[in-house]
Amino acid sequence: MPVISHPHGFTEDSLYVDLRPIVGQGLFLKCEGFNFAGSIKLKAAAEMVDSAERDGVLLPGSIIVESSSGNLGVALSMIAASKGYRFLCVTDSRCSPTTRRLMEALGAQVHVIDEADPAGGLVQARIDFVRALCASDDRYVWLNQYSNPGNVRAHYRTTAPAIAREFPRLSVVFIGAGTTGTLMGCARYFRTWHPLVRVVAVDSVGSVTFGGPPGRRMIPGLGMGVRPPLLDEAYVDDVVLVEEADTIRACWRLARAGYLFGGSTGTVVSGAVRWLARHGSGREIAVAIAPDLGERYLETVYHNDWVEARYGPDALAATPDETRPERVGAGLPSSA
């Protein structure tokens, strides 16, 4: 029986869903939402806070500040409450009302950015606000998930080894690309210890991470308006870009089978199913990472009016992902 003394002392790291009966492809989904923060971001948050404390950056009286679309903000809210720090989350209008209220319930202050930077979008506008805040008051400590090595280290030490232990004959792993902390931590681990494993990054159409043109993105979690400093494309074998309408379809498809997952998971599953349909032999051992669960998306991804207003009624059509238009790269984009 686990007994913990702080909320970040527990995480379920060994739960997988066999998706073959749902998606028709051999794919195991690693569920990362079963902890008190509700997402994989707890790992990065704990590693970054612990490192800042060890390095003497976080001191009594410090105020943690971070730019987040939601899940990291919740994880840091929880850790800050446990450790006695104040926390300010700088988010934007895409963050769901449920997530904002959750952070506030944990004692965090939430600042919402509504106006995007002309070049770097809402993420750059959030970063600019954080930088200005830190320059104005030295009590603020920015952990900076976008370039903090702890964001990568957390997954090199935990997520990737956990997958390797459960699937010693793993062929391919599908990982969503946001800050690319999870992607780089896992990719570096597999390149070092299991070099035959293919690492496929899954990103949203409209993200500039892998050199694509910027575009509208309404679902938080994956995708960036600026290139992630942590990214090293040399560790990535392939990239799949997923339309947000296909993210919606994948989420609803899983929900109709009884699994309520978050938007990032819908993107990763949609990309993985399409990649396997076109490039797989049917004999692969394939794992995809599900960053969170779906309760925080009830007012967005799982709300008919919200979906239809942004993507049209076709987004709710029960169309198998593998029949959607081709958006799988045959290797990295030429700009890589």
Domains of the chain, CATH where assigned: 7-35+150-323 (3.40.50.1100), 41-142 (3.40.50.1100)
pLDDT at 225: 87
Our answer to whether residue 30 is catalytic in this structure is no
| Residue 135 neighbours by CB distance under 10 Å | 9
User: Which amino acid would we find at residue 185?
Assistant: G
Our answer to whether residue 264 is catalytic in this structure is yes
pLDDT at 120: 85
Read off the pTM.
Answer: 0.92
Burial classification of residue 275, based on how many CB atoms lie within 10 Å of its CB (0-12 exposed, 13-18 middle, 19 or more buried): buried
What torsion, rounded to 10 degrees, do the Cα atoms 187, 156, 48, 247 define?
A: 50
Q: List CB contacts of 136: < 8 A, sequence separation 6 or more.
A: none
Range 35-41 average pLDDT: 96
Exactly one of 30, 41, 62, 69 is catalytic; name it: 41
- Per-residue pLDDT for 321 more than 70? no
300, two tokens: 């967005």
- Per-residue pLDDT for 334 more than 60? no
pLDDT at 318: 57
- Per-residue pLDDT for 335 more than 80? no
| Residue 198 neighbours by CB distance under 10 Å | 17
| Each residue's pLDDT tens digit, 287-297 | 999 999 999 99
Distance CA 169, CA 166 (A): 9
Exactly one of 39, 204, 264, 270 is catalytic; name it: 264
